[in-house]
Amino acid sequence: MSDPQYGDPVEENVADVEATSADDAVARAHEALADAEAASREVVVEEPVVAEQVDTVVVAPAADPADVAYADRYADEPVDEAYTPGAYSSDPDAPTEVVAPAVVAAAAAAPVAPVAPQPIFVQAPEAPRPRGNRAAAGAIGLLAAIAFGILYLAAALGLRALDGDVTGSNVGTAATSALTSWWFWVPVVVFYLAFWLLGAIVNRGRWGHWVIFGVIVGLASYGGHILGQLFQAPFWQLTASQGQELVKGQVLAPLAIVAFVVGRELTIWFGAWVAARGRRVAELNREAQREYERTLEAGPRLHQG
């Protein structure tokens, strides 16, 4: 066949035209498929996502090539309402993809739910125990008993010296003999017990209590003198009449009077010492009670180390 000349009619190659149309259709289908895949990966959020509520976005499955070809072929045709994308898909059972958008910034700024406070058990402070003065009265009573013994022994030696039984040459022997005799130690022990018992009763009381009740300690010392003479006899070797005669002879004995007077006076003066300490103890107790009340009013506190 000769080449067509200018002005001659040109016969179109039908096969070439059909091939070109097929290639264009395939190219358009691939482009539509790519656009559909890109659209399937886009996340459309209609409202701003806040920390309190995150909406789940449902994305349609990727477009099937058959759907794309169908849409290109019938683009100018009326839309069939009964048509559903994916009905002509090669995989009609493909599940719908559900995507939850990850909003990092909103999640980071989301307020943390407050944690319910746990109960904290705090042990209540113990009430202060009042301090007593009885132990101090017992210790001071020992010093008072030593003073009583010295004065009582001096009075006994002096009275015997007036009678001529004790002289300058035998005063040491008489004193040593008295320190190992019942008549000396019994009144000293009775005086100490009476003084300590009065201190246990008065406790933190005022000095006036010692002045008033010191008479009782003096009477106890007086009775201790008579009891000491009975032990010195000794009374378990005496008959009843002998014991009565001994007691009658000591009722108004000068040493018995000395025991009463010394016992009462020492109780007054040493009792003043005990009362002075009792006032200090009472003040400490009041201060401890005030501190305890302030602690209760302030309530429990947490100390961080």
pLDDT tens-digit map of 131-149: 888 999 999 999 999 999 9
Alpha carbon distance 148, 179 (integer Å) = 13
Neighbours of 166 (CB within 10 A): 20
Q: Which residues pair with 97 in a beta bridge?
A: 59
- Ranking 100-104, 172-176, 270-274, 291-295 by mean pLDDT, the lowest is 100-104
Helix or strand run (H / E) with residue 57: strand 57-59
Q: Which helix (H) or strand (E) covers residue 97, if one does?
A: strand 97-99
Three-class SS of residue 58? Answer: strand
CA distance 284 to 291: 11
**Residue 122: pLDDT over 60:** yes
Residue 243: CB atoms within 10 A of its CB come to 15
Whether the CB-CB separation of 104 and 58 falls below 8 Å is answered with no
Interacting residues of 169 by C-beta distance below 8 A, sequence separation 6+: none
Task: Give me the pLDDT at residue 18, please.
Answer: 52
At residue 56, what is the residue type?
T
Given phi > 0 = left and psi -120 to 50 = alpha, else beta, which region is 110?
beta
Q: Is the pLDDT of residue 62 over 70?
A: no
Is 270 buried (19+), middle (13-18) or exposed (0-12) by CB count in 10 A? Answer: buried
Residue 28: pLDDT band by 50, 70, 90 thresholds?
A: confident
Chain centroid offset of residue 246 CA? 68
Question: How do the domains of the chain map onto residue ranges?
Answer: 137-296
The dihedrals phi and psi of 169, each to the nearest 5 degrees, come to -80, -30
DSSP-based helix, strand, coil % in the chain, nearest 5? 60, 0, 35
Could you tell me which residues come within 8 angstroms of residue 153 by beta carbon, excluding any fewer than 6 positions away?
175, 178, 179, 184
Name 99's bridge partners. 57
pLDDT tens profile 173-182 = 889 988 999 9
pLDDT band at 238 (very low <50, low <70, confident <90, very high): confident
- The first and second tokens of residue 39, run together, are 């659209």
- Residue 273 near residue 144 (C-beta atoms within 8 A): no
